[in-house]
Amino acid sequence: MEFVNFLKNPKQYQDLGAKIPKGAILTGPPGTGKTLLAKATAGEASVPFITVNGSEFLEMFVGVGPARVRDLFSMARKNAPCILFIDEIDAVGRKRGRGNFGGQNEQENTLNQLLVEMDGFNTTTNVVVLAGTNRPDILDPALMRPGRFDRQIYIGPPDIKGRASIFKVHLRPLKLDIALDKDALSRKLAALTPGFSGADIANVCNEAALIAARHLSDAINQKHFEQAIERVIGGLEKKTQVLQPEEKKTVAYHEAGHAVAGWFLEHADPLLKVSIIPRGRGLGYAQYLPKEQYLYTKEQLLDRMCMTLGGRVSEEIFFGRITTGAQDDLKKVTQSAYAQVVQFGMSDKVGQVSFDLPREGEMVLEKPYSEATARLIDDEVRKLINFAYERTVTLLTHKKVDIEKIAVRLLEKEVLDKSDMVELLGQRPFAEKSTYEEFVEGTGSLEEDTTLPEGLKDWNRDREKDKEELNDEQTARHTSAGMPF
């Protein structure tokens, strides 16, 4: 909105001696709408939108990249005021001086030309450069300094209100069941899809339409949306994958262990659905409803670890042996334990220190701590996981009868939902008024906080006024032509 205002009313800034920002870099995970937002900004400002991909500058031939950058910026100056959008800027904006020993480096030359062009603007050209990337950590610091990209705007995954608004947009073109209320449906779906990005939400709506078409339905109903969410989270149902009776029994007790552990641990996420129909690469699948929460205490993380270990513990209690099915659970527990000890400073022995954990697929040549610290970290992680394991064993041994009930019902029905859990185990012993219930009931506000500064409020008011005038004009035209409006 701020950039739109810069481009619409440059004079109100220039009168005060302010320089219009050269540009902004949009960062955030894939699918959160960085490119869409740049297009929307150009649309709102009603200015030309020149878009280019970072990789288009890089060519095998020497000198082509810098020449393209020069041409692009000269075109932008001719069309000013305008928005120039460079998508995936990390292709051309990587840090310089890495692994280039001698020889000609086309990428560095292209970046140098880009740096010069961005700083060579005079202040009145009114060209705003926007760029998008999901790898801001590898960008050259010279590109990120004020005067080039003045703003770094982080666009994260939407929260529950944002998801509801995005669902409303994607539900508009779909042919929904008459009984469905779009507002209530978008609230419910937003609550069922924590952590989803805008692209995931579009995918869910499309999957629901495909499922409805496959079942020869006249319209899309709520069940189709639930199946679509399951498919996006857990993968495709494999009804043809036949499990041996012994394997099926193991999977049922494994999933029952997770469900019961989560039911009786205060800080674990409430269960929504548990199934033993194979999906994707997994054999069982459980869907939980996480709260919209950003800070976790040590106790909350421990409860989550115990719930994740519930499957492995259940196998051991009932069959006296363990299987390979808990590999993914153990991976999650290990990651959580290392994060607590290495990043969050939650271990008394290691102390209040924080080191970065290596990302998946990233080569680490040397650790940022000594061998002695590495040994201490490993010992602390093992101790933490063993404590969580013993705690889960105690809990599930005490609740053995409940696991038996859930597993038997799972083998019989294959899919259990929350109502089945309440019927078999009684109400969950903890107050569970989560964001989900509040939001679905309509008590949570759907309106996002869009407080605007005074200048933008005026601009918004003018926009509304223009719309009203246009509508009045159309009405007058239709009335004079004797047409009902």
Active site residue 438: no
Cβ atoms < 10 Å from Cβ of 305: 26
Task: Name the region of 149 (left: φ>0; alpha: ψ -120 to 50; beta: rest).
Answer: beta
What pairs with residue 417 in β-bridges? 273
**Residue 30 structure tokens:** 């894939």
Residue 285 DSSP SS3: strand
| Spatial separation of the C-alpha atoms in residues 88 and 65, rounded to whole Å | 15
What is the total residue count of the chain? 485
- What distances in angstroms separate CA 311 from CA 95, 266, 322, one per listed residue? 45, 18, 10
- Which residue shows structure tokens 């290691």? 350
CA angle 347, 349, 351 (to 5 degrees): 65
| Spatial separation of the C-alpha atoms in residues 59 and 321, rounded to whole Å | 58
> Are 239 and 277 within 8 A, CB to CB?
yes
**Residue 162 structure tokens:** 């944002």
Secondary structure (DSSP) of 146-160: TTTS-EEEE-----H
Instruction: Say which of 117, 230, 255, 316 is annotated catalytic.
Output: 255
CA angle 54, 60, 63 (to 5 degrees): 80
Q: Report the catalytic residues.
A: 255
